[in-house]
Structures are given as C-alpha cells and as structure tokens.
Amino acid sequence: MSKAAETDRPRAAALYESATKIYPREIEGRFAKLSKLATYTLLGLFYLVPWLMWDDRQAFLFDLPARKFYLLGLTLWPQDFIYLAWLLMALAFSLFFFTALGGRLWCGFACPQTVWTEAFIWMEQWTEGTRSQRMKLDKAPWSWDKLRRKGSKQLLWVTFSLWTGFTFVGYFTPIRQLGVDIANLDIGGWTLFWGLFYGFATYGNAGYMREQVCKYMCPYARFQSVMFDKDTLIISYDEKRGEPRGGRKRSVDREAEGLGDCIDCTLCVQVCPTGIDIRDGLQYECIACAVCIDACDSVMDKMNYPRGLIRYTTEHAMQGGKTRILRPRMFVYAGLLTILITALVASMATRTPVLLDVLRDRNTLYRELAGDIIENAYTVKIINQSNDTRDFVLAVQGVEGLTLDGVDNPVTVRGGDVLSMPVRARTHRDNAYGIMNITFSVSAVDDENVERVNDSRFLGPTP
C-alpha cells in the first residue's frame, strides 16, 4: 500500500482524485523495493570499489600511463587484450540470455542510466517534495522558498556528480593519492578534465535527459525486441480482465454494471517514467521498471480486487498457454555463454606470465669476426608479467653451434618489469649461409612451464 493511499479522505471518488497527487517514487511495493536494492548495491559497488586495496596497491586500477590493468592479484598487459574482448563478449551473451528469459531486466534495474536517474530523483524528492509539490513549484513564480528548494537540489546534484567524476577517475589514477592531490589543489589537467567530463555527463543524463536517453539514444532499447519471444517475461496489462474500464464507487458491483477490473485511475500512467500507458499494449518505450505493477496492485488492494491486473507475464501465458522456460533459444545463449566463460577462465588459468620479443637489428645483415665467426645482432625484450621477481634463461637454437653473447644467464627481471637488452648470436662460418630460421626461448628457472619462444632469422654470407 502506498503512503498516500493510507491518508484519510472521502471514499469512492476520492480514489481518483488522490491518484494525481501520487508521484512515482512514492509508490511502495515489491518492485520499488527491488529497484531500490539494485540502486544501492550497484552504486555502492561503483563508489566503494576503487577504495579497496590489494597488498599495497589499489585492488582495481586501470593504469593507463603504465599500460597495465590491476584486477585483484592479476596484472593484465596490453598483450592480454584478448581477455577483455572475451569478457565483453561473455557480458553481451549474458545480456542476451537474461533478456530472452526475463525481458528488459537490464533496463529496469541494472542500467547505469536507470540507477543514476533513480538516485537523482531521490535527491529531487528530498529537496522539492512530492510530485504535486514539484509540479506546483515549477509553475510558481520565483520566491525565496523556490530558490532555496531549487538551489539545494542543484547543490546536491552537483556535489554528487563531482563525487561521481572523482570516483570514475579513481579507477584510472590511484584514488587515495588523487584525494590528497585534490585537497592540495594540485591535480593534473587531464585528470581534472575527465573528472568534470564524467561528472557533467552524470548530471545531464541523470538529472535532465533521463528516459529520453532510453527512448532516443539507446541502441539496446531498439534491438532488444529481437531477443524476445512468446515466452519472455514482459510487463503486461490483462486486457480481458480489465476492460471495459471505468471509474466506480467501491461499493459498486462491477459485474452488474458490466465493468472490468480497471477503474481507470491512471495511476499506472502517472508513475511511468517514460510516460506511456501500459494498457495500450507492449511498447518499446517500456523499460520494464515495474512501478506500474506496484501502483496497480496498491489500487487493486484498496478495491478488494485480486492483484495482478498489470503483472509480469508472457505472451503465451496471456493467451492461456503455459510458459516454457527451457526452449532452444535459451540453450543456444546458455551454451555460447558457457563456452565463452570456460574458454576465458581456462586461458587465464593457463596463461604463461612471461613474454619474449625479439627484434633483429636491421642496420646490418651480419658481421664477420676474427676466426671465421658470423655474428647477428638482436634486441631482446623479456616481459615478466607475474608480480614476483624471477630468474630466466635465454637460449637460441636452429643453427648448429649457435651461441649467445651479451647474456649473463640467468637474467633477473623484477615483477611487472620489461628487460630490454642487446644480444648477439654467433656461429662458425661453415654453419651460416643465406637466411636461416632460428628460435629464441626464455624459460623461468623456478618453473619450467613458464616458457616462451619467439622466431627470428639468422643471416649469413650467400655462397
């Protein structure tokens, strides 16, 4: 039951009257609670995660200048980009899966646009009051009260947006240091710029654009219908039960009057954040936030009618059939999702945390040294992707008698460091002729499974 519904007022017709005074977010109910929970959880995660520490560094940090991503104990390098690509694909398929199953759950409860909009609406309520108070306030001429209310709303919005921008930048710059820098008014130009950029985007999107973003700008909102079938959960008005709609006193026997269950209070329309009438059928503007269900249920309770005139249902169920959850589409999405996640986990688990990069010196083909020795020069990069310092052995093979000069095996590379060194490969003239393929290899002393190879070429005189 909504708060407004509990207030004293004349019965019957008043129900229709009071409806206009109820603002969406004052509707309480199962789905309003769920959406509140989702908002708290998701925003809580967003604002807290950058403050988490792992050993002595930030647990989640996307260090762009150093070109390293830290995720808990894991350090990802640009070479690991494939994992990110797979992760994004896995996320896309989860979205498909949940959309086919539960409809626009994403839009209604998890999308940042929805979540931040909700938070901004709360702030609007704290400062400007209920729906009707706000409507009145907007129409009223400027006064001290209006200025105070509007001003404090803006103050809250702007502060919240700035904090959001700060948090966003905190994912890319160590947030604790950033906090100190801001306190000392000593922040870099770009850091400041991106913080303000993200803050302003939040302010505009959640404060002003709101559901217009879903209606006009969101590609997902337009194409999500292709993932729908007759067994997808949708929010729907039960037309058979509701029509013919019409206002009536609570004492009226609706069957005798030939009325359906819909009392046409238009509460469902007023609470709708996208301003549609759910009774007109499924529309793409519907983001499935389910507040109309809460609104209608509260009215049904008051009228002593059964709940569910507007409810989560499926097209099959509406036509009197049964909803099938296990259908081919679900297996396909779930199968692809499982494959992607398994591959991602497996490849990360078996990731070799060392990279070898060999670049042949292009300036000279080869050098002839005393004693009929042929020498080629290379630049070798050993990248230790693990977090610990490690010893590596660098070796080369592919040509008889090939030895390395300039390497003092084993070489030590600190965790997360790149060791770049000039290296010369030598062999006797009898073994070297034309272009020959050789293979460099690097292996960790403490773990022989940690090994990488890199192909290169060895040039000798052409006979």
Chain residues in the site for other proteins (CB under 8 A): 23, 64-65, 67, 78, 81, 84, 124, 131, 134-135, 138, 188, 190-191, 193, 208-213, 215-217, 219, 269, 272-276
Contacts 24+ apart (CB under 8 A), 164-167: 164/47, 164/116, 164/198, 164/199, 164/202, 165/194, 165/195, 165/196, 165/197, 165/198, 165/199, 165/200, 165/202, 166/195, 166/199, 167/46, 167/47, 167/50
Q: Which is nearer to other proteins, 23 or 106 (CB)?
A: 23
Q: Which is nearer to other proteins, 216 or 331 (CB)?
A: 216
Q: Which is nearer to other proteins, 40 or 190 (CB)?
A: 190
Shortest distance in whole angstroms from residue 106 CB to other proteins? 16
Shortest distance in whole angstroms from residue 146 CB to other proteins? 11
* Residue 275: strand, helix, or coil: coil
Shortest distance in whole angstroms from residue 65 CB to other proteins? 4
Q: How far apart (Å, rounded) are the C-alpha atoms in residues 31 and 407?
A: 66
Q: Which is nearer to other proteins, 236 or 270 (CB)?
A: 270
Check: CB of residue 433 under 8 Å from CB of residue 392. no
Q: How far apart (Å, rounded) are the C-alpha atoms in residues 25 and 155?
A: 21
Q: Which is nearer to other proteins, 119 or 233 (CB)?
A: 119
Shortest distance in whole angstroms from residue 264 CB to other proteins? 17
Shortest distance in whole angstroms from residue 80 CB to other proteins? 9
Q: How far apart (Å, rounded) are the C-alpha atoms in residues 232 and 101?
A: 5
- Helix (H) or strand (E) holding 147, with range, is helix 144-169
Shortest distance in whole angstroms from residue 78 CB to other proteins? 5
Check: CB of residue 355 under 8 Å from CB of residue 77. yes
Rg of the chain over Cα atoms, rounded to whole angstroms, equals 33
**Degrees (nearest 5) of the Cα angle 304, 310, 316?**
125
Tell me which residue has tokens 């809460």: 294
Check: CB of residue 420 under 8 Å from CB of residue 373. no
DSSP string for residues in 346-392: HHHHT--SEEEEEEE-SS-S-EEETTTEEEEEEEEEEEE-SSS-EEE
Length of the chain: 463
Q: Which is nearer to other proteins, 65 or 328 (CB)?
A: 65
Shortest distance in whole angstroms from residue 208 CB to other proteins? 8
Q: Which is nearer to other proteins, 206 or 450 (CB)?
A: 206
Shortest distance in whole angstroms from residue 378 CB to other proteins? 19
Q: Which is nearer to other proteins, 336 or 418 (CB)?
A: 418
Shortest distance in whole angstroms from residue 135 CB to other proteins? 5
Residue 124 dihedral angles phi and psi, to the nearest 5°: -65, -40
* Greatest pairwise CA separation for the chain in angstroms: 115
Q: Which is nearer to other proteins, 276 or 450 (CB)?
A: 276
Q: Which is nearer to other proteins, 303 or 348 (CB)?
A: 348
Distance of CA 184 to the CA centre of its chain: 32
**Degrees (nearest 5) of the Cα angle 34, 53, 83?**
75
Shortest distance in whole angstroms from residue 266 CB to other proteins? 12
